[in-house]
Amino acid sequence: MKYLYNPPLIIKKVFSSFKWNSSIGKILLTFDDGPSAEATETILKVLDENKIKGTFFCVGNNINLFPELTKMILSEGHLIGNHTFNHKKLTQLSFTESLQEINSFTVLLRDKFNYEVKYFRPPHGKFKFNTPSLIRKCGLENVMWSLLTYDYKNDIKVIKLAIDKYLRNNSIVVLHDSKKSMNVVSDSINMILETSSKKGFEIGEPQECLK
């Protein structure tokens, strides 16, 4: 059951170049699939209220749709990571197509926002044996996770189960910046903060957690 929330150790060993956990014993909050009209501002508000910085693994098409929300993410000191341009699964793309998906995103951020992307997360968490070499060729580091909350199911009970049972002091937590999670994302963040406080865990800065 645990592997549904935290990938198996054997996978982490085979793909040891990927970042699966925070490197400093502090929790890292990450948000996939944005920016979105439905959830981004809510997430930013909760993070600001709690003086927390997060990592947003954004999609290029969404950045083009919502450039002002992208600027907000950056202006408030959060980190943006590469989640490909069109949110296509790497397992369904050739090496060349994957390069195009990833590099197009990086160029977009560089040209339109003067921002150098350092980190990548594959859409849907899907990758292949050649993904490590693909990511190196793109000059990025691959960031996975150690706690998938299933917030996209829009069920706070499911999220609570994941957090209560599997949150650790070095978790990289996946939440979603999307319409699917818009009704639960605020409560999800607050639940993580409350559980962390009870267990004596700290929330870390993206740069320190990923170094």
Active site residues: 32, 176
Inter-residue contact 98 to 76 (CB < 8 Å)? no
Residue 6 is given by DSSP the state: S
Preceding amide of 35 cis, omega within 30 = yes
Question: What whole-number distance in Å separates Cα of residue 210 and Cα of residue 156?
Answer: 28
Q: Which is nearest to 175 in space by CA: 145, 205, 210, 209?
A: 145
159-184 burial, b if ≥16 CB within 10 A, otherwise e? beebbeebbbbbbbbbbbbbebbbeb
Inter-residue contact 192 to 50 (CB < 8 Å)? no
Residue 28 is given by DSSP the state: E
Question: What whole-number distance in Å separates Cα of residue 39 and Cα of residue 17?
Answer: 31
